[in-house]
């Protein structure tokens, strides 16, 4: 693991230089203080949710004694709901969307960064503008679009997870291509030139050189796309209509929408479990995100 290496390297530094305590405080220690404060800010509402999830009659206001009861009823009750189906749906939809987004955006960013062609600026500006469109107000159009498509390709019609993925992919270029584009621009062109002299085609340069160097941003975009898709419910609840196709966000939203008997305890437990895949994914991708470029060829 990259960070293990980093830690080891850090220890070596300590052994070699033996910095005095005051210097450690000045250069490293204060960072821990900030870290602790930031984490407190992060975690407080999450502890609150965790506490609510452990309280069978939990609510979102009024139960201010954290961890008054520790009871896993809510978690076991999840078993009798559609929760696991939703979780699987969410994972499928978010994973496919994330992979598709990364592939499409990386290709687009490569084209924008490495080629000069007519309409390039216009396309870039167009991409930027398209994402400004308030999708929330366009749900009627999405509904009717999928209705028509469904007449021809039933798998891409309403109430289909694949259709939802397609809608998400439609929005993929807007945001993420730019993020990628910025990073692609930081990769020196000399690398491409050298490969070109070696006889590489554009596809070979893209796959074997560029993609490896931009691995961190691929990981970041993949993660961002996964998370955004995972928590999206405004479009998802227009597209998905029956509980067996719901994603977690839609399912949980439906629980929360119950004005009278919202099962807050169940809801909180569901939210806690729902966050696990994101945390795991982040753990897995962290080495790419923060360690990727440091040993790459860019430096050398």
Of residues 80-99, which lie at the interface with another protein (CB under 8 A)?
Answer: none
Say how many CA atoms lie within 13 Å of 171 toward its Cβ: 19
Binders of another protein in range 41-70 (CB under 8 A): 41-43, 45-46, 48-49, 57, 59-64, 66
Cβ of residue 166: shortest distance to another protein, in angstroms? 6
Binds another protein by CB under 8 A, chosen from 69, 84, 138, 297 = 138
Binds another protein by CB under 8 A, chosen from 70, 79, 190, 279 = 279
Binds another protein by CB under 8 A, chosen from 15, 20, 79, 148 = 148
Nearer to another protein, 76 or 125 (CB): 125
Q: How many residues sit close enough to another protein to count as binding (CB under 8 A)?
A: 148
Q: What is the CA radius of gyration of the chain?
A: 24
191 makes contact with another protein (CB under 8 A): no
Between CA 126 and CA 129, with CA 128 as vertex, the angle to 5 degrees is 65
Binds another protein by CB under 8 A, chosen from 74, 89, 94, 181 = 181
Cβ of residue 121: shortest distance to another protein, in angstroms? 6
What is the C-alpha separation between 44 and 192, in angstroms, rounded?
48
Nearer to another protein, 72 or 154 (CB): 154
Provide the 3-class DSSP secondary structure of residue 100.
helix
Binds another protein by CB under 8 A, chosen from 69, 84, 241, 297 = 241
Q: Which of 74, 131, 98, 115 lies closest to 225 in space, CA to CA?
A: 98
Binders of another protein in range 110-129 (CB under 8 A): 110-112, 114-121, 123-125, 127-129
What is the C-alpha separation between 111 and 181, in angstroms, rounded?
9
What is the C-alpha separation between 200 and 64, in angstroms, rounded?
64
| Cβ-contact 158, 241 below 8 angstroms | yes
Q: Which of 297, 290, 220 lies closest to 6 in space, CA to CA?
A: 290
217 makes contact with another protein (CB under 8 A): yes
DSSP notation for 20-47: -HHHHIIIIIHHHHHHHHHHHHHHHHHH
Cβ of residue 70: shortest distance to another protein, in angstroms? 18
Nearer to another protein, 72 or 144 (CB): 144
Binds another protein by CB under 8 A, chosen from 78, 92, 96, 158 = 158
Looking up tokens 């939210």, which residue turns up? 271
Cβ of residue 278: shortest distance to another protein, in angstroms? 4
Binders of another protein in range 159-178 (CB under 8 A): 166-167, 169-175, 177-178
133 makes contact with another protein (CB under 8 A): yes
Binds another protein by CB under 8 A, chosen from 16, 18, 70, 134 = 134
| Cβ-contact 74, 53 below 8 angstroms | yes
Provide the 3-class DSSP secondary structure of residue 91.
helix
Provide the 3-class DSSP secondary structure of residue 40.
helix
């Amino acid at each position: 693991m990259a960070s293990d290496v980093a830690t080891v390297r850090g220890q070596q530094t300590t052994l070699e230089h033996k910095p005095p305590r005051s210097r450690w405080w000045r250069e490293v220690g204060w960072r821990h203080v900030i870290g602790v404060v930031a984490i407190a800010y992060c975690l407080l509402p999450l502890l609150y949710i965790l506490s609510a999830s452990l309280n069978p009659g939990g609510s979102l206001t009024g139960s201010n004694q954290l961890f008054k009861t520790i009871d896993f009823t809510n978690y076991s009750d999840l078993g009798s709901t559609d929760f696991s189906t939703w979780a699987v749906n969410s994972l499928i939809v978010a994973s496919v969307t994330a992979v598709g987004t990364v592939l499409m955006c990386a290709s687009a960013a490569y084209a924008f960064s490495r080629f000069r062609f007519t309409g390039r600026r216009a396309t870039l500006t167009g991409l930027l503008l398209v994402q400004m469109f308030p999708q929330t107000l366009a749900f009627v159009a999405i509904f009717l679009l999928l209705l028509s498509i469904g007449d021809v390709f039933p798998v891409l019609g309403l109430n289909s997870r694949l259709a939802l993925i397609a809608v998400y992919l439609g929005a993929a270029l807007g945001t993420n291509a730019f993020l990628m584009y910025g990073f692609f621009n930081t990769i020196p062109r000399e690398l491409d030139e050298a490969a070109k002299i070696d006889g590489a085609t554009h596809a070979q340069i893209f796959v074997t050189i560029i993609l490896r160097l931009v691995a961190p941003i691929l990981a970041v975009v993949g993660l961002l796309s996964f998370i955004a898709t995972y928590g999206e419910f405004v479009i998802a609840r227009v597209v998905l209509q029956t509980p067996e196709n719901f994603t977690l966000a839609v399912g949980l939203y439906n629980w929360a929408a119950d004005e009278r008997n919202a099962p807050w305890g169940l809801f909180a437990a569901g939210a806690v479990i729902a966050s696990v895949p994101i945390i795991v994914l982040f753990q897995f991708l962290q080495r790419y995100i923060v360690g990727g470029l440091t040993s790459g060829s860019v430096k050398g």
